[in-house]
Structure 1
Amino acid sequence: MEIDCLPFRKTGYFSKLICDYIEEKETLTSLYGQFPKLENFERQIREKNANFSVSGRKTLVKSLKAQYVDVKTSSLTSENIQSLHAENTFTVTTGHQLNLFTGPLYFLYKIVSTINLAKVLKETYGDYNFVPVYWMAAEDHDFEEINYFNFKGKKIQWNKNASGAVGHLSTEGLDEVFEIFSNTIGGSKNADYLKNLFTEAYLKHKNLTRATRYLANELFKEQGLVIVDGDDHHLKKLLVPYIKKDLFEQVSFTSVSKKISEIQQMDPDYGIQVNPREINYFYLKDGIRERIVERDGKFYINDTQLSFTKEELLEELQTYPERFSPNVVARPLYQEVILPNLCYIGGGGELAYWLQLKASFQAMEVPFPILLLRNSVLIITEKQNEKLDKLNISHEDIFLKLHSLINKKIREVSNIDIDFSPQKKFLEEQFKGMYDLAEQTDKSFLGAVKAQEVKQKKGLDKLEKRLLKAQKRKLEDHVVRLTDIQNQLFPGQSLQERQLNFSELYLEHGEELIPMLLKHLNPLDLNFLVLSIK
């Protein structure tokens, strides 16, 4: 195994905001609390410990035990759940949608990053316990985002009429998806494992939440992973005081809106990931998950006939807190209210919206967690490595956009030098004399000289491009091979981890896949990882 690292900025796949954040740009310090360095966790531990109650721990453990009542898990996971009673136990957390069969490959990277961070923290702060947590986004309602996974370039999709929270969805109909998948992956030992895993998760559990819990538990139970479903009456009860502030005081809307204005002033290229609403909660009941909106002192459930007075809504909240579902702005707060959490591990898009939320946490008097960019990985097989070596493509080269990669390599292998930089420099020197002459005789000719220089430079550019195009045709086989290898490693001109499903790698590596990731992913090394299998 050969390991290489690239700065995230050099990959070209991460936003300016995230690159500036992981490079600790000073102008961003107001957007977060502690930066993700090992020595900063001590302060985070003290802050969280001072702001998390014993009663909250009891409620959390009670809910987790109820959620795990029918789940066969490891002794380590059971010990981790029980340890949350203790005031010296803290969590590190990642979250993800209930994507079919884990969805994109980075589902694994998120959880492995979380598990490995918990291990590193235990090695450094031995007096404390650290529990890796996967938060299931069971209340999301974007079914089209989670109802498929890709396998060897083919989209395997679950077609179903769906509404409300995806975690409530019946798994009925997934037997058809299984048949398609089963007929695609062959009959090897590793293929049989994947078939059995899919069957046990989706064909033997009644809804998507239970199926996803089974799947994540099977993959990571030996590492002590604890899986949390926030769609829970008792856990939501802990959130009630904060829901009130959002419903009736618009605390999140005011604070996040102000922070967005600050971010836009910092740099217009940062962009805004999410915008807050006056009310950042949905109403969740009987297959619906619709926004709560307020008009003229009355509260309506969007696109339904349901409405409440303020008093009625308060009574509903106190009696049925599980019916109040946080949106993307409120969900991070919910997580930090119910977990003794130190750090949230997420992708670039997730961290971009978390960086908008610190003021909201301060207004709600909830500690803001450390934000850590999850590990990102490109895995290169032995055969792919051979192709890269033959084409003399470096790991840095392969991250170039396809046309840039082709242009660079064609210039390198061409038997003629298609680079007109020397000619352009010579042209500039020639025109310098013309500028001097015009300056001494008639300055009105300076514009004409400049126009002529621009015209001739454009002519050289055009000629250079035509010659390069002709050379590409001449070296067509080389272009085809360059295109083929980059399309293998960056399917759809996107990162491998955003397109491939873990099953594709499991077929090749089997039960060694997750141990390989656990061995090589260092969550506090803020670089893009390239794993080359030799």
Structure 2
Amino acid sequence: MPSDCITYQNSGYFSKLIVDYLDQKENLKPLYNRFPTIENFKLQIAEKEQNFPVSNRTILADALQKQYANFKISDATATNVEALKSENTFTITTGHQLNLFTGPLYFLYKIISVINLCKDLKKQYPNYHFVPVYWMATEDHDFEEINYFNFKSKKIHWEKDAKGPVGRFDTKGLQEVFDVFSLDLGLGENANYLRNLFEKAYTQHENLADATRYLANELFKEDGLVIIDGDDSSLKRIFSPYVKDELEQQSSFTQVEKTIPLLKEYNVQVNPREINLFYIHDNLRERIVFENGHYLINNTGLSFSKSEILTELENYPERFSPNVILRPLYQEVILPNLCYIGGGGELAYWLELKSNFEHQNVTFPILLLRNSAVIATEKQNQKIAKLNLNWNDLFLKQEVLKNKEIQSLSQFTIDFTPQKEHLKKQFEALYQIANQTDQSFVGAVAAQEKKQLKGLENLEKRLLKAEKRIHQEKLSQIVALQNQLFPGQSLQERKLNFSEIVLEFGITTVLNTLKARFNPLSNEFTVVIL
């Protein structure tokens, strides 16, 4: 097991905002409730206990039982759904789009982070029960983001002309996708497992929400994972007072606009609209816009007066869909949730939202960066040792890594800093002479110093280039290895689909190893050798 400690802050793969959050910089503390430490969950539990209505628990459990009606679930999941009715039960939640066959590898990392944190909390607070929750983003409508996954450098793509909430999409056309994927899998027990999982999920369920629920349930049912679909009338009814406030007062716009100046030194993730709601019906999901005293449904001829839209909300709460600004509030209103686990991009927009939660008297959850990992084979690990590399080296940008290795491989130092310092001292004497003569001579000395320093820099670059040619074979091996572990010079988890790893090592080995290695509160990259 590698002993290298690669913190998220030092990895080079996270934004300044997330690095500063992890470092608990003072300027960001007003933007979150509590930092994720095991001790802070005690205070979070106490706060959520005080302001989460007991009546919501029964509605939540009943809605989940209906959503699971046609699915075979484990005793652990059934127990967790029932436990949500009890006042001593709380959730830890992550969310993800309905990516085809889970999409990038970090889908697994998110859910395992949630599962493991629930276990850690149970050890620390045995009088409470903690339920891992996966929130399916069924109401998203950006199909282009989810209609493919990568497998062996090939994009497996679902061709479909569809609009509206993706969870409602029928699964027509996925038989053809399965046929392509099945051929690429090849032979063997692991290939048959993946083939069977894809086929049952996508060709035996009528819509994408059910297909995704089946898939996530099959992977994590023994861990008691609870999968929730927010596109639900009874759950939307709980949220309808907040929708009414959004329609009448546009509170979220006002509150988030107050927060954005506090993030001026960072790239703001999302900007609020005056009304942060969509109207959904069948295959329609369009923004609600307020103009000239009427509520218009963008890109349609639909228009409502104030009384008409409030009547629509009362009769059909399921037709009102929160956007990225309001979806977190919806989640926290209907779940007895303590913590949201997400990627860097997700946490960035959550950090804009606390003021709106406070305005609505809803507890703001603890925000935790999900686990990240790099998976390597034993053969690759041996290659790392043979090349005298460590994992900190492999996290470097490729040009930096190559230059560092040339410095270590070269028989002499490819650093002309001593020569540059010596040159500067020589010119100091010339400056003393120049200052006693004509001012134009000072300029001539400065120009000559600049020219000679530039010449040394060019010689340094040429020497580095020459040494690279001499050590090209080893450099090529290093580059090839880094490209395997960081495809496209990006994180493996953002490029690979879980099927590629499972095909080689098997689902049991992959999941059990990740569960054993992930520590959600560590703030360190996990290096996994399979």
TM-score, normalisation: structure 1: 0.97
* Partner Cα separation in structure 1 for residue 381 and residue 15 of structure 2: 28
Contact 2:514 2:528 in 1 (8 A): no
Contact 2:4 2:392 in 1 (8 A): no
In the TM superposition, what is the alpha-carbon distance from 1:466 to its structure 2 partner? 1.9
Match of 2:204 in 1: 204
* Partner Cα separation in structure 2 for residue 314 and residue 486 of structure 1: 57
Contact 1:4 1:529 in 2 (8 A): no
Q: Is the partner of 1:237 in helix, strand or coil?
A: helix
* Partner Cα separation in structure 1 for residue 440 and residue 56 of structure 2: 80
Q: Does 1:341 align with 2:343?
A: no
In the TM superposition, what is the alpha-carbon distance from 1:473 to its structure 2 partner? 2.4
Amino acid at match of 1:513: V
Alignment counterpart, residue 286 of structure 2, candidates 272, 285, 290: 290
Amino acid at match of 2:418: P
Q: Does 1:138 align with 2:135?
A: no
Q: Does 1:84 align with 2:68?
A: no
Match of 2:173 in 1: 173
* Partner Cα separation in structure 2 for residue 337 and residue 138 of structure 1: 18
Match of 2:515 in 1: 518
Contact 1:3 1:532 in 2 (8 A): no
Match of 1:253 in 2: 253
Amino acid at match of 2:91: T
In the TM superposition, what is the alpha-carbon distance from 1:383 to its structure 2 partner? 1.5
* Partner Cα separation in structure 1 for residue 32 and residue 441 of structure 2: 57
Q: Does 1:365 align with 2:368?
A: no
Alignment of 1:314-463 (within 5 A): 314-463=310-459
* Partner Cα separation in structure 1 for residue 244 and residue 503 of structure 2: 49
* Partner Cα separation in structure 1 for residue 76 and residue 2 of structure 2: 32
* Partner Cα separation in structure 2 for residue 73 and residue 439 of structure 1: 86
Alignment of 1:210-229 (within 5 A): 210-229=210-229
Q: Does 1:32 align with 2:32?
A: yes
* Partner Cα separation in structure 2 for residue 2 and residue 515 of structure 1: 18
Match of 2:491 in 1: 495
Unaligned runs of 5+ in 1: none
Contact 2:201 2:211 in 1 (8 A): yes
Unaligned runs of 5+ in 2: none
* Partner Cα separation in structure 2 for residue 455 and residue 478 of structure 1: 35
Contact 1:92 1:131 in 2 (8 A): yes
* Partner Cα separation in structure 1 for residue 441 and residue 32 of structure 2: 57
Per-residue displacement from partner, 1:80-118 (whole Å, max 9, x unpaired)?
Answer: 000000000000000000001110000001000000001
Contact 1:343 1:372 in 2 (8 A): yes
Contact 1:101 1:149 in 2 (8 A): yes
* Partner Cα separation in structure 1 for residue 277 and residue 404 of structure 2: 51
CA RMSD of aligned residues (A): 1.2
* Partner Cα separation in structure 1 for residue 400 and residue 420 of structure 2: 21
Amino acid at match of 1:202: Y
* Aligned CA distance change for structure 1 residues 3 and 415 (closer, same or farther; 3 Å): closer
* Partner Cα separation in structure 2 for residue 498 and residue 490 of structure 1: 10
Amino acid at match of 1:39: E
Per-residue displacement from partner, 1:152-181 (whole Å, max 9, x unpaired)?
Answer: 211111111121011111111111111111
Contact 2:141 2:166 in 1 (8 A): yes
Amino acid at match of 1:34: R
In the TM superposition, what is the alpha-carbon distance from 1:414 to its structure 2 partner? 2.4
Q: Which moved more, 1:413-422 or 1:11-20?
A: 413-422
* Partner Cα separation in structure 2 for residue 130 and residue 246 of structure 1: 31
Q: Which moved more, 1:482-491 or 1:110-119?
A: 482-491
Q: Is the partner of 1:50 in helix, strand or coil?
A: helix
Match of 2:462 in 1: 466
Contact 1:300 1:308 in 2 (8 A): yes
* Aligned CA distance change for structure 1 residues 439 and 531 (closer, same or farther; 3 Å): farther
Identity %: 60
In the TM superposition, what is the alpha-carbon distance from 1:445 to its structure 2 partner? 3.6
Alignment of 1:229-308 (within 5 A): 229-264=229-264, 268=265, 270-308=266-304
Per-residue displacement from partner, 1:275-319 (whole Å, max 9, x unpaired)?
Answer: 000000111112111100010110111111111111111011111
Match of 2:112 in 1: 112
Amino acid at match of 1:528: F
Amino acid at match of 1:522: N
* Partner Cα separation in structure 2 for residue 447 and residue 295 of structure 1: 66
Contact 1:5 1:530 in 2 (8 A): no
Amino acid at match of 1:246: E
Contact 2:295 2:309 in 1 (8 A): yes
Per-residue displacement from partner, 1:51-102 (whole Å, max 9, x unpaired)?
Answer: 1111100100010000000110110100000000000000000000000111
Contact 2:9 2:22 in 1 (8 A): no
Alignment of 1:7-156 (within 5 A): 7-156=7-156
In the TM superposition, what is the alpha-carbon distance from 1:416 to its structure 2 partner? 4.0
* Partner Cα separation in structure 1 for residue 305 and residue 207 of structure 2: 34
* Partner Cα separation in structure 1 for residue 106 and residue 144 of structure 2: 18
* Partner Cα separation in structure 1 for residue 358 and residue 441 of structure 2: 64
Q: Which moved more, 1:353-362 or 1:20-29?
A: 20-29
Question: How many residues end up aligned between the 2 structures?
Answer: 529
Amino acid at match of 2:251: V
Q: Does 1:531 align with 2:516?
A: no
In the TM superposition, what is the alpha-carbon distance from 1:442 to its structure 2 partner? 4.4
Q: Which moved more, 1:455-464 or 1:485-494?
A: 455-464
Q: Does 1:187 align with 2:183?
A: no
In the TM superposition, what is the alpha-carbon distance from 1:463 to its structure 2 partner? 1.8
- Runs of 4+ aligned residues of structure 1 deviating over 4 Å after TM superposition are none
